[in-house]
């Protein structure tokens, strides 16, 4: 019974030693033999303190957390996967960069590169075969036939032929009479004038006339830009029918806000982006040049026109509205990146830095001027950084997959 009581007291003593942070002993309270016992007990207590406090376990855990935190923002993308995804990395270096005025504009056909086929007679329209916008045509290719058979005034070609034949006979008759002074020179001159007018009219109308009507041909070689009438429409003389363009040279007309007027003299070139393929074109690669800029705003407008001319390589559609990046004076030692290097999240822009062969880091940046191809970087990168310039979204997807841990260290 005494043994059980002693064991219980000893257990309470051990628990108390665990709860107390410090136990103080004085050597004066014990004799030498007792000190030996106490030292053993202290050794035993020290082992218990280690078990109770868990200091060793906490230190190991803290060290593991610090290591995890140091690498928590690193994105792992194996080299083989990066190459397959088209990820490309470039070293960023300072370089000249032109200031940009961003605005809107329109692509127009250049003067002399467009012509319109018009009706030479009044009548009903019928197309010669399939005439569609964008089709290629040669000079003189039949486009439209105009029939006047059922018109109240009759066939104008037939009327012109009759007028021509009558005036010709009258002219030849008076030509013989004027020799003998039977008719005056004045009457003969009037007859000759009537004959010449009738002849010109008949020759013009009969040139492209056939049994089915008057044929209207393409005035130049090029492409059908627009068809201005429909099958069965009634047209009058001089009415536009089909517009044909050669598309060799085009105009780029940009509309610039009045607040940029002081900078218009510094504009040297431009880039523009089309809405149908989102491609950015550089005028310097299209043999482009600045033609003029307006000296005043247009009527009922607060914009000043700036006009460029450039070669059309068959990819730009005349008449389309485009986004224009006017290039002004040059800035030196600017850090810039291609647009493909940027990703956007809720209005904030990010890039991806390459840390090593398979490691990447997401980096927030502040952007400046944008010329449609490249963007000025104000903060977030420095010269010499290795930046992902192509395949940034693939790295972004890899960062999303890395957010799900592949192995847990919790046991």
Q: What is the pLDDT of residue 401?
A: 65
Q: How far apart are the C-alpha atoms of 82 and 80, rounded to whole Å?
A: 5
Cα-based distances in Å from 351 to 87, 138, 325, 335 = 13, 52, 23, 13
Q: Are residues 339 and 323 in the same domain?
A: no
Tell me how many domains the chain contains. 3
Residue 55 lies in a domain: no
Is the distance from CB of 119 to CB of 146 less than 8 angstroms? yes
Give per-residue pLDDT as tens, 174-222: 887 887 778 888 888 888 888 888 888 877 777 767 767 888 889 888 8
Judge if 267 and 374 occupy the same domain.
no
Give the pLDDT confidence score for residue 252 in this predicted structure: 93
Q: What is the CATH number of the domain that holds 223?
A: 2.40.50.100
Residue 22 belongs to a domain = no
Residue 11: predicted pLDDT: 45
Q: What is the pLDDT of residue 298?
A: 55
What is the reported pLDDT for 58? 41
Q: How far apart are CA 315 and CA 282, in angstroms?
A: 13
CATH number of the domain enclosing 359: 2.40.420.20
Predicted local distance difference test score (pLDDT) of residue 299: 58
pTM, whole model, 2 decimals?
A: 0.54
Task: Give pLDDT tens digits for 380-406.
Answer: 999 999 999 998 888 888 777 654 444
Helix (H, G, I), strand (E, B), or coil: what is residue 6? Answer: helix
Domain that holds residue 136: 114-245
Confirm whether 68 is domain-assigned.
no
**Positions of the chain with pLDDT under 50:** 1-70, 403-411
Residue 56 lies in a domain: no
Instruction: State the Cα–Cα distance between residues 178 and 188, nearest whole angstrom.
Output: 7
């Amino acid at each position: 019974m005494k043994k059980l009581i002693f064991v219980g007291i000893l257990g309470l003593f051990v628990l108390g030693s665990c709860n107390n942070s410090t136990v103080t002993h004085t050597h004066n309270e014990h004799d030498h033999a007792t000190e030996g016992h106490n030292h053993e007990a202290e050794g035993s207590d020290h082992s218990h303190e280690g078990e109770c406090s868990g200091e060793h376990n906490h230190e190991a855990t803290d060290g593991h957390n610090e290591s995890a935190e140091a690498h928590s923002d690193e994105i792992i993308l194996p080299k083989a996967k990066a190459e397959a995804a088209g990820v490309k990395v470039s070293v960023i270096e300072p370089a000249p960069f032109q200031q940009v005025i961003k605005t809107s504009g329109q692509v127009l056909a250049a003067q002399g590169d467009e012509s319109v086929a018009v009706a030479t007679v009044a009548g009903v329209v019928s197309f010669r075969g399939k005439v569609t916008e964008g089709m290629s045509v040669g000079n003189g290719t039949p486009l439209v036939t105009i029939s006047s058979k059922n018109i109240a005034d009759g066939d104008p070609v037939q009327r012109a032929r009759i007028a021509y034949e009558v005036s010709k006979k009258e002219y030849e008759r008076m030509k013989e009479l004027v020799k003998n002074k039977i008719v005056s020179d004045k009457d003969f001159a009037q007859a000759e004038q009537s004959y010449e007018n009738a002849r010109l009219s008949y020759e013009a109308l009969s040139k492209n006339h056939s049994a089915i009507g008057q044929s209207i041909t393409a005035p130049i070689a090029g492409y059908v830009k627009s068809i201005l009438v429909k099958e069965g429409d009634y047209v009058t003389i001089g009415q536009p029918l089909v517009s044909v363009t050669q598309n060799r040279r085009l105009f780029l007309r940009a509309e610039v806000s009045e607040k940029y007027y002081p900078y218009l003299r510094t504009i040297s070139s431009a880039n523009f982006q089309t809405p149908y393929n989102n491609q950015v074109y550089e005028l310097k690669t299209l043999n482009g040049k600045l033609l003029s800029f307006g000296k005043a705003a247009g009527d009922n407008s607060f914009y000043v026109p700036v006009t460029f001319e450039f070669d059309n390589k068959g990819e730009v559609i005349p008449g389309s509205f485009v986004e224009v990046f006017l290039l002004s004076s040059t800035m030196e030692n600017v850090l810039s990146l291609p647009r493909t290097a940027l990703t956007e999240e809720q209005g904030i822009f990010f890039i991806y830095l390459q840390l090593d062969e398979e490691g990447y880091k997401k980096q927030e940046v502040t952007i400046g001027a944008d010329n449609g191809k490249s963007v000025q970087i104000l903060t977030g990168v420095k010269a010499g950084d290795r930046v992902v310039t192509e395949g940034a979204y693939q790295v972004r997807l890899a960062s999303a997959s890395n957010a799900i841990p592949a192995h847990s260290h919790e046991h």
